[in-house]
Structure 1
């Protein structure tokens, strides 16, 4: 397990969230001006309350609520949280940061079922953070507002200020029904000492391509019958298959067409390929020190993106896109905060104002964002903050040091070349790693007997096909 210790002199909020996340507070951004694109302010008379449903709120959302209400005195934001966040630990000398795991599946199920029932009954909040919810399903039922239409009709919303490929990737039937306020990147960290000589086109490699190349990285120098270097670090079978599904979701699930494609040669072969990675020792069954690629795949923050390569493989690490079975090429992304507007809301105008606020330059530049900005100006500000590391400027922390397994690493200011390399990756974000929590759970649970040798790939594929098809027809 990675142990990260932050020295007392550190004042930076953004810290290696993929390995450790804590609640941070920082300098608040100045609130943008309030307008509807036509010079007027929303709710000229009286006060309106916009409700927002989210599984668990965070510091960013609370900050945005506070600043939005200051800028819009006639609009209140009521955040409806379904699962409270765990309390942050008290800071102290030598305080190790808390390593936070994945959300409890029961909490996800509670949120998804509760909000789904509210949408179907017409009693949902004005705004909904659609994490884990099948937004295409609800768009088909005319329960979500067409946000592309709102964007095009609002003169104050400048589409050129955003990474359009991110919005395009989340469109359904040509329209945007949920907006990603921030994103995470699905990428691997690889050992450049091994990979620099390989001809890898990670913009189009498949899982079969990966396995074929990875076989060359297995070494057994002491001839003891056990590899002394593994291509990929330990990853549990359920995590591997859901990662494979996530990078190729639309290949096997047509949510809009309500069609599952699991009972196919493509998915059966993918299952067999996944199992062969364990059989052929591409993936170890235990934790090992010497690997070529770290399996942690979701890069959540700018500080992650900058610092993790310096903390891995003796500072000789590089990023690679995950393999995919999709035709779409480019870096895949997830979003922890996809927001939709309830089509039955009586406060659509005010709800759109809050989404615009969340997407504004100032809010997207806030340290509390804890994700990658979809606003280009916000991203530029976030990247530029890395240039002040170790200088004490901009709250970036003079003498910032991280402790990795007993080895202390000092982070220096990012160079223009390093910033340019990060910008290149961000401009290549094009593929949405779609997630439907129900389908992911079905795949995870039903593939277990296959990996345990109790059922064939064909049998498992049929079970998944039936269960997902039934779910899609609900």
Structure 2
């Protein structure tokens, strides 16, 4: 268990957005076409095009800085869906209100549209030089030799120091022993445990399985007032499709071997996992609604998007009595699970592969990884250290602070922004060094599992029936 106090993330924003409030707009000109918008490239000898569903301040800043450093290379950001208008929260400091950017999840339909468009471009040889692979089955494109082997590029580049990066992240992203997509930043998939309700129970999240979780969860259920409802729910509200996705992604390699094009969903292990998932609802171990979100032992939506999330959340919820836990897993791979909103691949058919790699390398550099605009957890160790050091100035007159009187106003509660203590900073670094499990799998396979298990959770089909369909559909997909 990681003794880092945390709490349920009840807002969809990252608190550290306060650090980049003054840099939320870009001077980059865009033009809109049938497939999206593209930043207007200036004249130059080389133009590197990057495909992304929705651009952000980090990419725009990287473009500006890189072009200033390399006048002969221009970066063309090809955006497929403009960023939507988002809700905002308010931070207050020295008599002024400061706006917080609320991070909204992208529309699944837009993700599917983006993946379809980029996939067609890759297959036709017309894809961009650099591609954000979110929502794409990058393994299939790697098998077709459409993506460059980034591990080779790293090994052959004497200026790239692999020791400066978290090896657990890069290793977890490898496919058939090599990197074909590299994450520029990550977020962490973790649960938040309510220490007050755990009552001193020890949870070994370094090796627990879903069966272990259910065993411990069952021991925590009680109905002292005999109203037919648990007084405490072991797990906070989570929909069946989200639960099965979480269970699948934490153990994906056990049920599908994409490289060998082999599906293993008809195994007893997957059938048992399905039945266990349904039993969590049948046995009332999962909160049915959000009427009492504090009366849960584990909050399944405690994702860490920013460093500040790791130590500020407990000060806003659960009375500070929380701790992060790794998700249960059926896989041999253990550690903290992560996902990336900015994984990059290089088109193997690109005429600008050298320049494309140089730009990707720049995004991984100390300079960009330590920038406020990263809005995520750095994969570069020096960048992470700089980000944590910046946090230490919050609420002060230092570089990252905005005055000692700065306060956050979240859910009607005003709270002073404070820098992390040395103990909290050390706890953050410990978590970073334990990141080692890729929490994302082939999106097509995930969609098949979610769609076909819905009738099972609704009691319309047996586990054996849906598993047969899943096995057939995934096997067909892998052979395409």
TM-score with structure 1 setting the length: 0.89
Separation of aligned partners in 2, 1:196 and 1:75:
59
Aligned partner of 1:408 in structure 2 is: 414
Runs of at least 5 residues in structure 2 that lack an aligned partner in the other structure: 1-7, 26-42, 91-95
Q: What's the offset of the Cα at 1:233?
A: 0.8
What is the Cα deviation at residue 434 of structure 1?
A: 2.5
Instruction: Give the match's secondary structure for 1:302.
Output: coil
How big is the shift at 1:88?
4.6
State the Cα distance separating 1:194 from its structure 2 match.
2.9
Corresponding residue for residue 224 of structure 2: 221
Is structure 2 residue 439 aligned with structure 1 residue 433?
Answer: yes
Please, which moves more after superposition, 169-178 or 405-414? 405-414
1:347 aligned onto 2:352 = yes
C-alpha distance after superposition, 1:262-302 (max 9, x if no partner)? 11111111111011001111102222321111110421111
- Asked if residue 233 in structure 1 is aligned to residue 236 in structure 2, the reply is yes
Paired with 2:55 and 2:391, the residues of 1 have a C-alpha distance of 26
- State the alpha-carbon separation in 1 of the partners of residues 175 and 305 from structure 2: 25
Post-superposition shift, 1:390? 1.3
Secondary structure of 2:350's counterpart equals: coil
Please tell me whether residue 87 in structure 1 is matched to residue 93 in structure 2: no
How many residue pairs align between the two structures? 448
- Note if 1:293 corresponds to 2:305: no
CA contact (8 A) 2:369 2:378 kept: yes
Query: SS where residue 394 of structure 1 aligns?
Result: coil
Pick aligned residue for 2:340 from 314, 335, 345 = 335
Q: 1:344 to 1:3 in 2, by over 3 A?
A: closer
Match of 1:462 among 462, 465, 468: 468
- For 2:373 and 2:441, the matched residues in 1 are separated by 24
Tell me which residue corresponds to 1:170.
173
Corresponding residue of 2:133:
130
Distance 2:129 2:364 in 1: 17
Tell me if 1:185 matches 2:207. no
Farther-moved stretch of structure 1 (72-81 vs 430-439): 430-439
Larger deviation: 363-372 or 85-94?
A: 85-94
Q: 3-state DSSP class of the match of 2:309?
A: helix
Instruction: Supply the distance in 2 between the matched residues of 1:23 and 1:461 (Cα, whole angstroms).
Output: 47
User: 1:424 Cα deviation (Å)?
Assistant: 0.4
Q: Which moved more, 1:276-285 or 1:190-199?
A: 190-199
Q: TM-score, normalised by structure 2?
A: 0.88
Picking from 60, 63, 66, the partner of 2:61 is 63
| Residue of structure 1 equivalent to 2:46 | 48
Q: 2:89·2:101 contact (CA, 8 Å) conserved in 1?
A: no
Q: How far 1:94 moved relative to its partner?
A: 6.8
- One of 75, 78, 82 as aligned partner of 2:76: 78
CA contact (8 A) 1:263 1:465 kept: yes
Does the CA-based 8 Å contact 1:400-1:410 persist in structure 2? yes
Q: CA RMSD in A?
A: 2.5
2:158 to 140, 155, 158: 155
Rate the CA distance shift 1:221–1:405 in 2: closer, same or farther, 3 A. Answer: farther
Contact 1:4–1:96 under 8 Å retained in 2: no
1:189·1:318 contact (CA, 8 Å) conserved in 2? yes
- Aligned counterparts of 1:75 and 1:51: Cα–Cα separation in 2: 11
- Structure 1 residue 346, shift from structure 2 partner: 0.6
1:26 CA drift (Å):
4.0
Residue 15 of structure 1 corresponds to 15
Paired residues of 1:365 and 1:379 also in contact (CA < 8 A): yes
Residue-by-residue CA offset, 1:49-86 (whole Å, 9 max, x unaligned): 00111111111111111111111111111111111111
Q: Check the 8 A contact 1:24/1:59 in 2, yes or no.
A: no
**Residue of structure 1 equivalent to 2:455:** 449
Structure 2 residue aligned with 1:314, among 311, 319, 325?
Answer: 319
Q: Deviations over 1:3-23 (max 9, x none)?
A: 769xxxxxxx95168xxx998
1:459 and 1:81 mapped to 2: Cα distance? 42
> How many Å separate the matches in 1 of 2:329 and 2:259?
21
Q: How far off is 1:91 after superposition?
A: 8.2
How far off is 1:24 after superposition? 4.2
User: Post-superposition shift, 1:96?
Assistant: 8.1
Alignment partner, residue 9 of structure 1: none
**By how many angstroms is 1:89 displaced?**
5.6
**1:375 Cα deviation from its structure 2 partner:** 0.5
Q: Aligned equivalents of 2:71 and 2:129: distance in 1?
A: 18
Deviation at 1:149, TM superposition (A): 1.0
Aligned to 2:37: none
Q: CA deviation at 1:99?
A: 5.1
